[in-house]
Amino acid sequence: MSTYKKKQKELRSPDAFQKAGQEAIPWLVHNQTRLLVLVILLAVGGGAMALWKYTQQRAELREAEAFSNALAPFMPPSGNTAAKTPAETDRELLNSLQAFEAQSKDGTPSARNAHLLLAYVHLRLGQPEEAQKAAERFLAQAPKENPLRQVALEAKAYALEQSKQYELAFAAFGELEAEVPSDFKGKGEYHQARMLLLKGEREAALALFEKVAALDLPKNEAVSLAKQRAEGLLRAPPANAPSANNEATN
């Protein structure tokens, strides 16, 4: 390979920070799923206790119990049962949640939670289209005050990112930013900066990372991560990527 062609190949390749952005989503989804299961289990448990007081809501109670049973694959093994791999757990959870969806009444809290959890299971299995649909089913049914809407918006944005639709993912993360409470401000913009970086818009990404890093929210994880990204970009030399016209010419 000639020196010129080798140089052009290097220029077209994503820089270290673009690669870091692409590698971020599996870690984010993995940790988000475990947290989401815990939140939903607590909600199901609390809801079940409250529902026992109302005999007219026995059907909803039965559905809550059925949903809790559908989460069984995520529970740690008991006795001498061999531990399952994450992939095995995801496949079992996918099957059990889909079976629950098929028999549940659409629009109930348990059905909505199943949609949301399915979105993250699909993401972990590398199925972004199915993940986006599941997240949108939740968003179509959840009331505006439901705090899990933010988790669903994030799942939708992750799905668009996973399918490399960075412009749409940028917009979806913007929706997330508009809905997060004040203590979590900057979360959507941090992800928007990642999308800019994945598109090769280094300077715009840096400006947005710096904007989030400047927020006076010391316990906000997005602020901490934005500071790290901004510092890393400032230390690293910019990649002299060719323009789209030069790409076409070459």
* pLDDT, position 110: 83
The predicted-structure confidence for 45-73, as pLDDT tens digits, reads as follows 444 434 444 444 666 667 777 777 777 76
The predicted-structure confidence for 83-107, as pLDDT tens digits, reads as follows 778 888 888 888 988 988 888 777 7
* pLDDT, position 157: 95
Q: Could you tell me which residues come within 8 angstroms of residue 134 by beta carbon, excluding any fewer than 6 positions away?
A: 115, 116, 118, 119, 122, 155
Looking at the structure, tell me whether residues 27 and 147 fall in a common domain. Answer: yes
| Cβ 233 vs Cβ 202: under 8 Å | yes
* pLDDT, position 41: 47
* pLDDT, position 239: 59
Residue-number span of the structural domain to which 216 is assigned: 179-238
| Residue 226: C-alpha distances to residues 82, 204, 213, 223 (Å) | 40, 13, 5, 5
* pLDDT, position 4: 42
Q: Which residues of the chain fall below pLDDT 50?
A: 3-24, 27, 38, 41-56, 240-250
SS3 state of residue 152: helix
Per the structure, the count of domains in the chain is 2
**Rounded distance between C-alpha atoms, residue 61 and residue 109, angstroms:** 10
**Residue 196 falls within a domain, yes or no?**
yes
Looking at the structure, tell me whether residues 159 and 183 fall in a common domain. Answer: no
* pLDDT, position 111: 86
